[in-house]
Every structure is written in structure tokens, then in C-alpha cells.
Amino acid sequence: MACRQLWASRAASYLRISVFHRGFSNVIKDFKYVDSHEWVKVDGNYATIGITDHAQDHLGDVVYVELPEVGAAVTQGGSFGAVESVKATSDINSPISGKVVEVNEALNSSPALVNSSPYKDGWIIKVEINDSGELNNLMDSEQYSKFCEEEDSKH
Amino acid sequence: MRGGLWQLGQSITRRLAQGDKKAVARRYFASDAELKKTVVYDFHVANGGKMVPFAGWSMPIQYKDSIMDSTLNCRENGSLFDVSHMCGLSLKGKDSVPFLEKLVIADVAGLAPGTGSLTVFTNEKGGAIDDSVITKVKDDHIYLVVNAGCRDKDLAHIEEHMKAFKAKGGDVSWHIHDERSLLALQIFGCCVIAHSFAPTSCYLFSHDLVMVLLLLRFLQHLTKADLSKMYFGGFQVLDINGVQCFLTRTGYTGEDGFEISIPSESAVDLAKAILEKSEGKIRLTGLGARDSLRLEAGLCLYGNDLEQHITPIEAGLTWAIGKRRRAEGGFLGADVILKQLEEGPKIRRVGFFSSGPPPRSHSEIQDEGGNNIGEVTSGGFSPCLKKNIAIGYVKSGLHKAGTKVKIIIRGKSNEGVVTKMPFVPTKYYKPS
């Protein structure tokens, strides 16, 4: 698992177009982020999760999203699915622990929504939150933007 | 054959399997710094090329266009690839043909001067050391190109056998064309354009083709050669813009086109001229799209679909063994290969369509009862077909088109079916 994650992350970063990459990827102010490039939007005891604009930019054209089953448990930092582009596969890790209550079925027929609308129509799962205290471990939009800049400058 | 991302993927996967994370990262970055650069490197970077390590070189996997768009554009208009990481060499001497025939399965003696063919270098067990396009320039001169990732072992193999051959009085020597660079130009509808030089045979014309016509006229203008009589597999030494080039009508995409070996000091100028003359239709294209294109064309990638333990028969390359060679043998591993010809191989390379996630190299293939019957060696999403395609090996008897299979990806079973290849029809320029 760790090897595949590392490999996928490495491969995804190769696919980034360095010269034409925007100085920063788009982020949403009120969302929370993790260093494996997923976002989470909290709404009471529930949260919506997807991959960031930065992640989809690195992956390139998404051709398949592997979705978990409704009712599945997810854990903070654990993989719950995968995103496939033409040339790379990347695990999707959950920013928080909880139970899946809804998955975005539209991604089965239109995986490219992850590219065109990563923060809205391209959402991936909705979960019932186990422990809202876990949210304190996450980055806000400014921290995440800085993290992405630092990560990009290393490659 | 020529390059591909998944060799990269496999290479990194193997490295990651060893040692701890920090050690891997350090080795990785050290390796980055030591990568070789083609003479076109700066041109790639200036044009938005994303450079990645491949076979010891820093090569462009992608430019501004996405891999999806690059793949589609190659089939709609055309692509220009830098394949200078591949190794070109010449064998010369009156015995160069019999020498090479000891090492490859092709009927080299039967090639007409100015023509070439895909062939396979074999080991003593009949397995593939590498695949290569060989061309006969003259009866005492063979020009060939081998894969970048196999260069060191190929050259060592050839040198070893050349020493023994010369010790017995054979007349053969070689030159490695490291002073040259290799560009691959693939063009949609070239055959149509070629015929359109004669107005009465022109039956298809459109705005896009006007641009390609201009490009072909550009090439014709520079070479003064009649490219309309140079068919797939053809080879010419000619001047392009006053520079001596080796032109081979071949490619690794299923499209018509040329591989142009040019003195390295002139490579960037030629690349610029081709791109400018095509007014944006022919686009710089990276290894990522090249891998999609060759997969759609059903072509083997050495390191994925061909290995030391896979014979040409198993790989479906029986057609590349000349008729005389099937009767005579005379190449390394001939006993194994000719026996497989007679009895049939135990495994066969086939194509697949599948549902679910795109198959990747090493995905297990099962029959409908859940029994292992083989493995995927290359796979992905086809930009042209908008569906998953894969190449793999299955047990003989289960290789017929239409056979239903399961492809196991991340522990889950996905529906698949065996299909003939190419997945996307080829458009080689052949006499009609």
C-alpha cells in the first residue's frame, strides 16, 4: 500500500506541466485539506470529500474513479478509493474517520467532473463524521496553498 | 519497442520495493541529476515539456497538451517526437548480413536494398533480448535502431558475437550513431496526401489536410526525393535542407510517418521547421501519448510485452520470422522457436477490452471460473476508443477473440474479453 501510494504520487507529479502550471491551484477558503491532496467540507455531523484542484491538475485527464460502498467505514489517512488517469493511478485518502453515507454516482459515467469541477460536481463521497476533533489535524486553505507551493518547488 | 511510461513505472516500483523511504528518495534524486539530455532538451523545456527520467535520459512525457489530446491529435493531424534516446547503429562489411542473421529472426538477406523490417534479437533460449527496426541500406550496410532501455546489453551482445565472428575471418564492423539525433514524425493521411500530388487520384481534401499537404511539400522540397514512392519500411539516405539524413518510413503509433536520423547539430532546426510549416497541426508529443498510441496500435513495448523469457512466437511475431529462416533457423534459440512453430506455444499475447478501472501491467487475468490464465503486460484507457484496452498473455487455447475473462484490479474482478489487435486500425503507407 505504501509503495503504491508513493509510486502514484511520484507518477502523478511527473504528469504535471511545469512551465504552464498556475502559480497556485485553486482552493476554497472554508474547506480543510490534507497533504495527500484531498479536501473536506464540513456540514454539521456530515462532511463531503474530494480531491483538490492541485491533485487533478497533476493527474491529468481522469478516466475512472473507484468509489467505496455506502456504509463503508473510512479512517483518517486511510485509502477509500482510487482515481485513474490515462497514465497514472492514485489512491484517495480520507481526511477524517467516519461512515460513507453517499457516493457521487455521476462519476461512474462522467469521471472528468473531477477535472472540470473538483470542489463541486466532482465531489467523491459524503461521510458521517466519527470524531470532529480530527478536523483540528487538517490544513486550512492558506496552509494548504503554502504546502503545495513548497511541494512543487521541490520537484 | 520505442519507449513508454510504464517502463518508468515499473522501474520506480522495483526501486520502491527495496529499502526504506528515505534511501529511495535519495537514490531517486541522485539519479535525476545524472540523467542524459538529448540535443533537443532545451527546446522541449522552452515548449512546456515536462521532463521525466526514462532509460537513463531526461525525456518529455508531456507538453502543454494533455496526454489525451496529444494522442488524439496524432491520429487527426500528426505528432513530432524526440526519440534521440534510442540507439542507432550501422553494421558494415561484406559479411554484415550473415553476421546479423545469427542474432535476429529476420530474413535480412531477403530484404531489398532500401527496405527494412521489425525484428527481434534472440537469446539462446529463443527469448527476446530486444526488438529493433533493421534496414538494409546496401548489401554490405545495415542500419538499425534499438531501444534506449536495452542499449547497453544489446551493444555488449553484438560486440561479443562480432568478436567471435571476426576471429573466424568474418568481415563486419560497426559504428554507433551517437553523433546523430532521431526525430519521429507521424502524420495522418500521408498516403492520401502523397497520391494527391497527382490531381486525378485526389479523393479526399479538407482544410486540415491542406496543412499536412504543405508539410509534405515542405519535406519534398527539402529532400528533392519522391516520397510518394517510399513505402512503409522504406529507407533512404538523403539531404533534408542540405543535411544528410537517414529517413525510414516507419513509426510506433500505427500512423504513417518517418523516423529521421539527423546530425545532432541540425536536429533542433529541423524540429522547428516541421512545427512551423505545419502551422500548429503537427504538435510536439511526449512519451505519455506515444505509449497510448503504440498500445492502441497493439505494438509491443520491450520490458512490458516482450522480455528475455518471451519468444517471438508467444508474442505473436511469427510473421517477422522470414520464410527461409523458418526452414533454416540459424539464429540464437532457433531450436526452441522452431519447435514452438511446429507444436504451438503454451502462452499467447492477446488484446483485451475491459470494464471498470483501466488494467495496468501485472493485473492478473482469470477465466470465468476464477482460475489464473495469465497476466496483463500493458494496459490503460484508449483516448481514441474511450474505453479500456490491454495487452497480455494467456494460456494457449484461451486466446481466441471473444473469450470472456476476468481482470483482477486491486482485488476486484472486472469483466474483460479477448480481442484482436490493433485496437485502432493502422494507416501505414503501402502500395495499393
- Tell me: the pLDDT tens digits for B240-266? 877 899 999 999 999 989 999 999 999
**Nearest chain B Cα distance for residue A65, angstroms:** 8
Region B343-369: what's the mean pLDDT?
A: 97
Q: Is residue B132 part of a domain?
A: no
Residues from chain B that touch A89, judged by Cβ atoms under 8 A, are: 357, 360
Q: Is residue B235 part of a domain?
A: yes
Residue B13: closest CA among chain A residues belongs to which residue? A7
Q: Within this chain, do residues B394 and B260 fall inside the same structural domain, yes or no? A: no
Q: Is residue B43 part of a domain?
A: yes
Q: Within this chain, do residues B190 and B61 fall inside the same structural domain, yes or no? A: yes
Whether B259 has a binding-site annotation, put simply, is yes
Q: Within this chain, do residues B80 and B191 fall inside the same structural domain, yes or no? A: yes
For an interface test with B, the pick among A87, A90, A92, A151 (most B C-beta atoms closer than 10 Å) comes out as A87
**Nearest chain B Cα distance for residue A62, angstroms:** 10
- Domain ranges (residues) in chain A: 32-153
Give the bridge partners for B404, in sequence order.
B417
For an interface test with A, the pick among B6, B13, B293 (most A C-beta atoms closer than 10 Å) comes out as B13
CATH number, domain at B392? 2.40.30.110
CA of residue A142 relative to chain centroid, distance: 17
Alpha-carbon gap, residue B256 to B231, rounded angstroms? 9
Mean pLDDT estimate for chain B: 86
- State whether A84 and B24 contact (CB < 8 Å): no
Residues from chain B that touch A10, judged by Cβ atoms under 8 A, are: 12, 28
HEC letters along chain B: CCCCHHHHHHHHHHHHCCCCHHHHHHHHHHHHHCCECCCCHHHHHHCCCEEEEECCEEEEEECCCCHHHHHHHHHHCEEEEECCCCEEEEEECCCHHHHHHHHECCCCCCCCCCEEEEEEEECCCCCEEEEEEEEEEECCEEEEEECHHHHHHHHHHHHHHHHHHHHCCCCCEEEECCCEEEEEEEECCHHHHHHCCCHHHCCCCCHHHHHHHHHHHHHHHHHCCCHHHCCCCEEEEEEECCEEEEEECCCCCCCEEEEEEEEHHHHHHHHHHHHHHCCCCCEECCHHHHHHHHHHCCCCCECCCECCCCCCCCCCCHHHCCHHHHHHCCCCCHHHHHHHHHHCCCEEEEEEEECCCCCCCCCEEECCCCCEEEEEEEEEEECCCCEEEEEEEEECCCCCCCCEEEEEECCEEEEEEEECCCCCCCCCCCCC
Facing residue for A20 by CB, picked from B48, B67, B356 = B48
Q: Is residue B218 part of a domain?
A: yes
pLDDT in the model for residue B187: 86
Q: Is residue B29 part of a domain?
A: yes
- Tell me: the pLDDT tens digits for A30-75? 999 999 999 999 999 999 999 999 999 889 999 999 999 999 999 9
Q: Any chain A CB within 8 A of the CB of B68?
A: yes
Alpha-carbon gap, residue B74 to B80, rounded angstroms? 9
Residues 346..375 of B with a Cβ closer than 8 Å to A: which?
Answer: 356-358, 360
Mean pLDDT is lowest, of B8-12, B76-80, B338-342, for B8-12
Residues from chain B that touch A17, judged by Cβ atoms under 8 A, are: 48, 50, 62-64
Q: Is the pLDDT of residue B6 over 90?
A: no
Q: Within this chain, do residues B276 and B398 fall inside the same structural domain, yes or no? A: no
Instruction: Please provide the CATH number assigned to the domain covering A32-153.
Output: 2.40.50.100
Give the bridge partners for B51, in sequence order.
B60
Q: State the CB neighbour count (10 A cutoff) for residue B178.
A: 11
Residues from chain A that touch B356, judged by Cβ atoms under 8 A, are: 64
- State whether A60 and B360 contact (CB < 8 Å): no
- State whether B50 and A86 contact (CB < 8 Å): no
Euclidean distance between the first and final Cα of chain A, in Å? 23
- Tell me: the pLDDT tens digits for A69-114? 999 999 999 999 999 998 888 999 999 999 999 999 999 999 999 9
- State whether A15 and B13 contact (CB < 8 Å): no
CA of residue A80 relative to chain centroid, distance: 11
Contacts across the A-B interface (CB distance below 8 Å): 77
pLDDT band for B276, please (50, 70, 90 cuts): confident
pLDDT in the model for residue A24: 55
Q: Within this chain, do residues B49 and B195 fall inside the same structural domain, yes or no? A: yes
- Tell me: the pLDDT tens digits for B177-223? 999 999 999 987 544 444 434 333 333 344 444 555 555 666 666 66
Facing residue for B357 by CB, picked from A15, A20, A84 = A84
- State whether B12 and A61 contact (CB < 8 Å): no
Region B382-397: what's the mean pLDDT?
A: 97
For an interface test with A, the pick among B28, B73, B410 (most A C-beta atoms closer than 10 Å) comes out as B410
CB of B383 closer than 8 Å to CB of B71: yes
Of B264, B296, B328, which residue constitutes the final position of a domain?
Answer: B296
Q: Is the pLDDT of residue B428 over 60?
A: yes
In chain B, the percentage of residues whose pLDDT exceeds 90 is 75
Residues from chain B that touch A18, judged by Cβ atoms under 8 A, are: 48, 50
Q: Within this chain, do residues B195 and B279 fall inside the same structural domain, yes or no? A: yes
- State whether A60 and B67 contact (CB < 8 Å): yes
CATH number, domain at B21? 3.30.1360.120
Q: Within this chain, do residues B199 and B292 fall inside the same structural domain, yes or no? A: yes
- Tell me: the pLDDT tens digits for B120-160? 999 999 999 999 999 999 999 999 999 999 999 999 999 99
**Nearest chain A Cα distance for residue B363, angstroms:** 13
Q: Any chain A CB within 8 A of the CB of B79?
A: no
pLDDT in the model for residue B33: 62
Q: Is the pLDDT of residue B98 over 80?
A: yes
Number of domains in chain B: 2
pLDDT in the model for residue B224: 65
pLDDT in the model for residue B213: 55
Region B305-317: what's the mean pLDDT?
A: 98
Region A130-154: what's the mean pLDDT?
A: 92
Q: Within this chain, do residues B360 and B269 fall inside the same structural domain, yes or no? A: no
Q: Any chain A CB within 8 A of the CB of B387?
A: no
pLDDT in the model for residue A23: 45
User: By residue range, what is the domain housing residue B25?
Assistant: 5-85+181-296
Facing residue for A7 by CB, picked from B16, B50, B68 = B16
H or E, element range at A91 = strand A89-93
Q: Within this chain, do residues B285 and B372 fall inside the same structural domain, yes or no? A: no
**Nearest chain B Cα distance for residue A70, angstroms:** 17
Among chain A, residues having any CB pair with chain B shorter than 8 Å are: 2-3, 6-7, 10-11, 14-20, 60-61, 63-64, 66, 82, 84, 86-87, 89
For an interface test with B, the pick among A16, A64, A85, A86 (most B C-beta atoms closer than 10 Å) comes out as A86
∠ CA B330-B333-B334 to the nearest 5 degrees?
45
Q: Within this chain, do residues B191 and B263 fall inside the same structural domain, yes or no? A: yes
Q: Is residue B11 part of a domain?
A: yes
For an interface test with B, the pick among A13, A14, A16 (most B C-beta atoms closer than 10 Å) comes out as A14
Q: Is the pLDDT of residue B293 over 60?
A: yes
